[in-house]
Amino acid sequence: MKKSTLFSAISLIAIGLFVTACGGSPVVEKVVTVEVEKVVTVEVDKEVTVASEVEEEAVAEEEAVAEATEETVAEETTEETAAPAAQEGATLGIVQDRGVLNCGGNANVPGFGFLDPDTNEFAGFDIDFCKAIAAAVLGDAEAVEVRATTGTDRFPVLQAGEVDVLVRNTTWTISRDTSLGFNFAPTNFYDGQGMMVRVDSGVESLADLEGATVCVQQGTTTEKNLADVMRALDISYEPVVLADQPATLAAYAEGRCDGFTTDKSGLVSSQTQLSDPSEHIILDETMSKEPLAPAVRHGDDQWFDIVKWVTYGLMQAEELGITSDNVEEMAATSEDPVVRNFLGAEGDLGQGIGLDNDFMVTVISQVGNYGEIYDRHLGPDTVFNLPRGLNSEYTEGGLMYSPPFR
């Protein structure tokens, strides 16, 4: 109380002196004194209190924001971690739950993909790769539903998820691998674009097609390759563009075109469908590189791995001399560690892609190895008798080569 009274007295004297010096009166002194006391006292008290409350509220808000941020980060981290796990293996699970592999194929290229009108069943080199994948993931090579696709609709069908894999004489290119959002398994057939003409036309090389008409299928690398090659050779020609392979072949057979171009494997197949194959010849020139391979959608690495290693497995089996006839015996009796790992007699390679360790035993026993598939549809005992060439094993001068199953 004494300190308070002393402080008030000093304040009154100081203010009085100030007011008197300024020409004020005692009445003003009282008013000013009261106002100053109230202002100083009230404002200081309130400022201290408000500041304290603001600081407390700010701290509380910061803590709340920090907690919310931590929760959000935790949720985002969980989602980012869980998302790949949800996508990884999604296709495998869907296929196994469905019990059938949906495979995009071709219905019009005998030897590769063809719908037999007598049996209403698909058969061919590419179809057997569909069956090999089905054997690996479902244990049954016949658990396949082939969706016939054209050169135009095959990619939208795969992108939309209407098929699980596309195995349809499809060329692996950078734009398809990137812009279209596909992953390509290893090349299962090395091909090149060729040209078929009539023997009596006198055409012996591409240069002889100056001013000629050429039948070509829409929506294929063939169409662009033809334009590029003819421009590079300074050959003028008229393209006759058709919707699909049957229409393209029919136009050529009817004489609407002087030449018919597609992959050489396709030309060999198409030649057998003409009324007199001997009246036609495939020129020696190869117009492009056409590595044909199975394709899957981006976003499921496990499914890509399965398709990739089943394809490699067919090559590896041929290299090791493992066939549909001896695979069971070799799995049971072989002491070669390479063979034992490959066939799942030891190790756990299958588990790494979500399959049984002996998945290749199932594949080979039901479908055969690469060489068996090739010979069954394209080899010496078929109407095609197509030399393997680049599709021979690497030990025979070809390009068929599997990385180690290790």
Question: What token pair was written down for 287?
Answer: 């117009």
- Mean pLDDT (the chain) is 84
Residue 307's Cβ-count burial label (10 Å; 0-12, 13-18, 19+) is: buried
Residue, of 33 and 385, whose pLDDT is higher: 385
Residue, of 78 and 171, whose pLDDT is higher: 171
Among 255, 288, 321, give the residue marking a domain's end. Answer: 288
126/273 same-domain check: no
* Mean pLDDT, residues 319-339 taken together: 98
105/152 same-domain check: yes
Q: pLDDT category, 12, cuts 50, 70, 90?
A: very low
Partner residues linked to 280 by β-bridges: 198
Question: Residue 81: helix, strand or coil by DSSP?
Answer: helix
Question: How do 295-297 and 182-184 pair as beta strands?
Answer: antiparallel
pLDDT at 374 over 60: yes
Cβ atoms < 10 Å from Cβ of 284 = 9
pLDDT at 220 over 60: yes
The pLDDT assigned to 88 comes to 53
392/312 same-domain check: yes
CATH number of the domain residue 336 falls in: 3.40.190.10
Q: pLDDT category, 59, cuts 50, 70, 90?
A: very low
156/173 same-domain check: yes
Residue, of 113 and 79, whose pLDDT is higher: 113
312/279 same-domain check: no
312/350 same-domain check: yes
Residue 385's Cβ-count burial label (10 Å; 0-12, 13-18, 19+) is: exposed
238/126 same-domain check: no
296/369 same-domain check: yes
pLDDT in tens, 358-369: 999 999 999 999
pLDDT in tens, 120-140: 999 999 999 999 999 999 999
Q: Does residue 405 fall inside a structural domain? A: no
Q: Does residue 404 fall inside a structural domain? A: no
Residue, of 126 and 76, whose pLDDT is higher: 126
Q: Does residue 402 fall inside a structural domain? A: no
pLDDT in tens, 233-251: 999 999 999 999 999 999 9
| Range of weakest confidence among 9-18, 269-278, 351-360 | 9-18
pLDDT at 26 over 80: no
Q: pLDDT category, 61, cuts 50, 70, 90?
A: very low
The pLDDT assigned to 34 comes to 36
* Mean pLDDT, residues 36-42 taken together: 39
Q: What pTM value is reported for the model?
A: 0.76
59/143 same-domain check: no
**Structural domains in the chain (count):** 3
Residue 4's Cβ-count burial label (10 Å; 0-12, 13-18, 19+) is: exposed
300/171 same-domain check: yes
Q: Which of 384, 401, 383, 402 is nearest to 392 (CA)?
A: 401
Domain range holding 272?
193-288
The pLDDT assigned to 219 comes to 84
pLDDT at 353 over 90: yes
383 Rama class: left (phi>0) / alpha (psi -120 to 50) / beta:
alpha
pLDDT in tens, 169-208: 999 999 999 999 999 999 999 999 999 999 999 999 999 9
Among 86, 101, 131, give the residue marking a domain's end. Answer: 86
The pLDDT assigned to 367 comes to 98
Q: pLDDT category, 23, cuts 50, 70, 90?
A: very low
pLDDT in tens, 271-322: 999 999 999 999 999 999 999 999 999 999 999 999 999 999 999 999 999 9
The pLDDT assigned to 323 comes to 98
The pLDDT assigned to 87 comes to 52
* Mean pLDDT, residues 208-230 taken together: 95
264/347 same-domain check: no
Among 86, 105, 133, give the residue marking a domain's end. Answer: 86
Q: Does residue 329 fall inside a structural domain? A: yes
Question: How do 259-263 and 212-217 pair as beta strands?
Answer: parallel
Q: Does residue 143 fall inside a structural domain? A: yes
pLDDT at 13 over 70: no
pLDDT at 338 over 70: yes
The pLDDT assigned to 161 comes to 97
Q: Does residue 233 fall inside a structural domain? A: yes
The pLDDT assigned to 103 comes to 98
390/330 same-domain check: yes
Question: What token pair was written down for 20?
Answer: 């008197």
Question: What token pair was written down for 169?
Answer: 């004489």
